Amino acid sequence: MAADQLIPAAQYLRMSTEHQQYSLQNQAAAIQRYAEFNGFEVVRTYADPARSGVVLKRRQGLQQLLTDVIGGQTMFRAILVYDVSRWGRFQDTDESAHYEFLCKSAKIPVHYCGETFANDGALPNMIMKSLKRMMAGEYSRELGSKVSAGLRRLATLGFKVGGKPGYGLRRMIVAPNRLPKHRLNRGEAKSLTTDRVILVPGPAHEVKVVRDIYRMLIYDGYSVCRIARELNRRGIRFRSGAMWRSSAVYGILTQQKYVGTYEFGRTSSRLYTPLIRLPKSDWILARRAFEPVIDYPTFAQAQQIVYQRTINKSKEELLIGLKGVLDRCGTLSAALITAEPNIPSPTTYRNRFGSLRKAYELIGYGRSGDFGPTELRRRTQALRDEVIDKLAEMFPQHLSIVYRGGKWRRQLRLQTGELVSVLIMRRVYSKLGAIRWLLKPVQRERNNITLLARYDPENRSLMDLHLVRNGDRRGRVYLRETDDWFDRGVRLASLSDFLAAIKTLGEKTH
């Protein structure tokens, strides 16, 4: 067939760590033979090396393929995949079918080059494809069960089968007869499949800190939060130079690995399902699996203290302690609770009552004035999201919402690629009692176009809207109602004027 008559196609390659037969090179070679025999020319490659086929979110290659197909900006008219399992081992066969249907709807069919059936919609072939999809998903389930059983067997023998060793502990490679061979540093892994890994006490200075933590709890009467503060005051750092937190101290005080017992199976998350906590009856505890850092009587004494301070206390007892803090201080906050040595940490109250505020309300500390700043902050965040959603809904052809996750905030993107931030300015009072509006630019958004939405003097509803460039403001600024700074931008009568204001701002800037 002449080159100009070949059908342009994209190939999708995926390899986990299963078999050499599924290497990307072998898949590409098989796809190339199929393409030559059936009149295709591979013009684009999407690949997911070392990626599981169980879920989509970790497979950037397939995500990009689907994005390109749905967007209609493709140079190819077919997709070539080695077999059904390379497309995915999805636990729900409807999910696998859905992604293929998206491609077929865009008139870009999927061809499975290594399968014995043709993906042509014929009833026998459709039945075979459905069976193959179920077999692909079942393979992952069976493999997961076998791996889980193997890990539990090794854990029963006291061998470490994953995860970080923990502060004050390190990993040691041992032979099957437990003879030590080599201590592993951070990031290193064993090379021989017959070798095993156990935990051993870490550097002397870390071991000393672990023992100091137990001493401060048992003999000095320190709370978990106070121990963390004391370690930070001494300049002692946690792993990777991080500051100590109460959760890190709590883990050292409650995990049995510090007395030489290996714990396994406290949680479960098979095939990327949500993490669940298992009952203690399902845990694996391999006692005397390695050299302890803390002797058992000391550990048991620490458990009794921790248990009495938190878990063993009823909700009524926790509220009595909280009421005592309120009576002494006249107010409540997470910082005040943390500073109290005789009551649990704020985390305990959140876990028991759902939130600190609910615990506050149960002791009568729940008036609207008590939570003014918190409520205003929540309303402000909700209002900001509402403005962003409204703009995206009003101008779907010109605006899209951008959200990277983590500490990044939601922003808007124009067709030109420029980003637009939304800032809500709340009313505050100056030291002399004058009304001002607080502008708090976000540093990573300084070069964006910024929509300033200003509260009314009661901080109840929006008073006005201004579109500005925020590049010359680095820190918080207090603006008057008629501040000259607003003249640098464009005032909007309503959100419907947004696109016109963008154009006016561009002309004003240039």
Last residue within a domain, chosen from 140, 157, 192: 140
In this prediction the pTM is 0.53
Q: Would the pLDDT of 15 be above 70?
A: yes
* Range among 93-102, 180-189, 270-279, 349-358 with highest mean pLDDT value: 93-102
Q: How confident is the model at residue 12 (pLDDT cuts 50, 70, 90)?
A: very high
Helix (H) or strand (E) holding 215: helix 204-218
162-177 pLDDT, tens digit per residue, is 788 989 999 999 888 8
CB 498 within 8 A of CB 467: yes
CA distance 149 to 10: 39
Per-residue pLDDT at 311 exceeds 70: no
Answer with the residue of higher pLDDT: 121 or 28.
Answer: 28
Q: Which domain holds residue 493?
A: 373-509
**Per the domain annotation, does 158 fall within a domain?**
no
Residues 8 and 119 in one domain: yes
Structural domain contains residue 491: yes
Max intra-chain CA distance, the chain: 89
CA separation for the pair 81, 65 (Å, rounded):
12
Q: What pLDDT is attached to residue 312?
A: 61
Among 345, 366, 387, identify where a domain stops. 366
Let me know whether 36 and 122 are in one domain.
Answer: yes
Statement to judge: residues 505 and 420 lie in one domain: yes
- For residue 159, being part of any structural domain is answered with no
Judgement on whether residues 302 and 343 belong to the same structural domain of the protein: no
As a whole number, mean pLDDT of residues 26-31 equals: 92
Same domain, 303 and 424: no
Average model confidence (pLDDT) for the chain? Answer: 85
**Domain check: are 9 and 130 in the same one?**
yes
pLDDT at 292 over 90: yes
Last residue of a domain, one of 140, 156, 190: 140
pLDDT band at 406 (very low <50, low <70, confident <90, very high): low
Is 27 among the domain residues? yes
What is the per-residue pLDDT across 440-482, written as a single tens digit (0 to 9) for each?
A: 878 778 788 889 898 888 888 888 899 987 655 557 788 888 8
Residue 4, pLDDT score: 65
Report how many domains make up the chain: 4
Residues 29 and 42 reside in one and the same domain:
yes
Tokens at 405, concatenated = 């996750």
For helices 246-254 and 296-309, the axis angle rounded to 10 degrees is 130
Ranking 184-188, 216-220, 249-253, 447-451 by mean pLDDT, the lowest is 184-188
Overall average pLDDT of the 273-281 stretch: 74
